[in-house]
Amino acid sequence: MFDLDSYLVSKNKRINDALNNILGKNINSGRIIKAMRFSLMAGGKRIRPVLCIAAAEAVGGKTEDVLNAACALEMIHTYSLIHDDLPALDDDDMRRGKPTCHVAFDEATAILAGDALLTLSFQILSSISFKTEKCASKRLDVLHAIAFAAGCNGLIEGQMRDLASEGTLLSIDDLEAMHSLKTGALIEASIYSGAALGGGEKNQIRQLGIYAKNIGLAFQVTDDILNIEGDPKVMGKSVGTDVIRGKNTYPAIVGIKESKAIAKKSINNALQALDGFDNRSDPLRAIACYIIERKR
């Protein structure tokens, strides 16, 4: 039986070592690097970079093929959390069991730390030396996909819709569309990046795209449920905040029971998308199940 815990420990160590190495190469060791490191190395599940690596392995690639892309994805995710926690947005004081960046430092430093992580992610993505023109083209394609997912056509637009809809009731279709941007886009980019850089064929990349879309939905639905039913001590952040802010969530619109059914159906769809893959995709299968079983 596949051991997901051991897999996550192993991959997280590779990711954390690489992130520390990247930060250590910066000649600036002042306040901004300290703030970046504070948030980037504060723990977390590393789901996006692990998905990138697992997708590469599923198509026959190796961790080293995608490690820089995996690190860049985690930097983008962390930047989004830093900005999401700011007083102008969600105004959260705790993240991953620690003070949020603007609480530990100050608001201006947090804004700049987020900006710096986003910029550094693209510096890392564009700093690889290419052996062939085909390799360069593939890397450029991945860079474009990640930028698209992180920008005004993806994560940022999803965040804007989330803010604009507070206090109003969205339809289930509009809610799904919002979260496919806010949460799903970067998850889909993570899977695509791993599959493309790992040498995946078109049909493999297409099936992994279906997998990614479904786990992205399940991830967000589970987050919504945990904001109601989760244990703050386990999650490392407050619960009940979605209701207080009047946010649109799956439980608010369809209820807890139906939300759990949606998450379960999405995971089943994701697993079906992997039917044509061999046991190299077992990490992806295990991660799909973990997404709706997690407690934080």
The predicted-structure confidence for 68-90, as pLDDT tens digits, reads as follows 999 999 999 999 999 999 999 98
Question: Which residues form the domain of 234?
Answer: 4-293
The strand pair at 98-99 and 94-95 is best described as: antiparallel
Gap between the Cα atoms of 70 and 65, Å rounded:
10
pLDDT value at residue 54: 98
pLDDT value at residue 27: 62
Six-digit token pair at 161?
């819709």
Per-residue pLDDT, averaged over 278-291, amounts to 96
The average confidence (pLDDT) of the chain is 92
Residue 61 phi, psi (nearest 5): -85, 180
Q: What band does 183 get if pLDDT is binned at 50, 70 and 90?
A: very high
Query: Using one digit for the tens of pLDDT, what is the confidence trace for 264-275?
Result: 999 999 999 999
Picking from 206, 223, 184, the residue whose alpha carbon sits closest to that of residue 77 is 184
Does the model's pTM come out above 0.85? Answer: yes
First vs last C-alpha separation in the chain: 24
pLDDT value at residue 132: 59
Place of tokens 């093929």: 65
Gap between the Cα atoms of 18 and 38, Å rounded:
16
Number of domains in the chain: 1
Place of tokens 């973990």: 290
Strand, coil or helix: 97: coil
pLDDT value at residue 220: 93
pLDDT value at residue 133: 61
Per-residue pLDDT, averaged over 112-122, amounts to 97
Give whole-number Cα distances, 171 to 176, 185, 253, in Å. Answer: 9, 20, 8
Per-residue pLDDT, averaged over 128-138, amounts to 69
Six-digit token pair at 65?
């093929």
Q: Tell me the CATH number at 113.
A: 1.10.600.10
Per-residue pLDDT, averaged over 197-202, amounts to 95
Gap between the Cα atoms of 112 and 50, Å rounded:
26
Q: What band does 130 get if pLDDT is binned at 50, 70 and 90?
A: low
Residue 279: partners with Cβ closer than 8 Å, 6 or more residues away = 2
